[in-house]
């Protein structure tokens, strides 16, 4: 009985010592793992392996397009039609207000310029006609009706000239 009591005492001491050492080991292990705590559901789906340097066995080639942020782009449309003869800036360049972006050759602009020159000539012509009619009215060779008609023709020519001048200046070619 004494031997069995000793065996029981030694085995109890060993169990107690193992229990104490097991508790301290688990607490230090838990402290070490705090930085890498993962839920059990995630641990089941991931595979942890050692990093090695190996040649690429399979590669995947994809097509794509590198593009700019559309939110930071302002689209500019010219007010006249025509052919672009020279581009001064490219996509992605920073631009300043008033900077020339492109040169456009336009038949519309040629028409506006022609209208301007025609209106200017009409103003000169109707001014001479008005002056001549006023001289004739003062001399008694023309009626007041002729003088008023010449004045009205001059006013219309000036109005057409101002209109063509504004159209030309709106299109930045005055």
pTM: 0.47
- Residues 127, 153: Cα–Cα separation, whole Å: 9
Q: Which is nearest to 105 in space by CA: 88, 121, 86, 124? A: 86
Q: What's the half-sphere exposure (Cβ side, CA atoms, 13 Å) at 87?
A: 4
Kindly give the residue spans of alpha helices, DSSP state H, lying in the chain. Answer: 2-32, 40-45, 107-139, 144-170
**Which range is least confidently modeled, 1-5, 58-62, 91-95, 97-101?**
1-5
The residues, any chain, with a CB within 8 Å of residue 133's CB and separated by 6 or more, are 142, 146, 147, 149, 150
- Residues 171, 80: Cα–Cα separation, whole Å: 8
Q: From the centroid of its chain, how far is CA 83?
A: 24
DSSP state of 84: E
pLDDT digits (tens, 9 = 90+) for 55-87: 888 888 888 888 877 887 778 787 778 888 899
pLDDT digits (tens, 9 = 90+) for 98-155: 888 888 888 888 888 889 999 999 999 999 999 999 999 898 898 989 999 999 999 9
Spatial contact of 171 and 109, defined as CB atoms under 8 Å apart: yes
pLDDT digits (tens, 9 = 90+) for 26-48: 555 555 555 667 788 887 888 87
Question: What sign results for the dihedral spanned by CA atoms 151, 153, 156, 160?
Answer: negative
What are the structural domains of the chain?
Answer: 106-170 (1.10.287)
């Amino acid at each position: 009985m004494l031997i069995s009591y000793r065996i029981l005492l030694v085995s109890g001491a060993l169990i107690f010592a193992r229990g104490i050492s097991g508790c301290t080991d688990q607490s230090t292990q838990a402290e070490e793992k705090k930085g890498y705590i993962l839920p059990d559901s995630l641990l089941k789906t991931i595979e942890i392996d050692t990093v090695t340097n190996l040649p690429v066995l399979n590669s995947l080639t994809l097509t794509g397009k590198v593009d700019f942020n559309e939110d930071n782009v302002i689209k500019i449309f010219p007010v006249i039609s025509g052919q672009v003869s020279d581009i001064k800036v490219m996509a992605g360049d920073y631009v300043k207000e008033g900077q020339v972006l492109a040169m456009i050759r336009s038949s519309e602009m040629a028409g506006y310029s022609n209208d301007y020159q025609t209106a200017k000539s009409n103003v000169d012509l109707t001014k001479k006609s008005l002056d001549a009619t006023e001289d004739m009215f003062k001399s008694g060779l023309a009626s007041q009706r002729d003088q008023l008609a010449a004045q009205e023709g001059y006013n219309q020519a000036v109005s057409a000239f101002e209109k063509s001048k504004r159209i030309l200046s709106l299109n930045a070619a005055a």
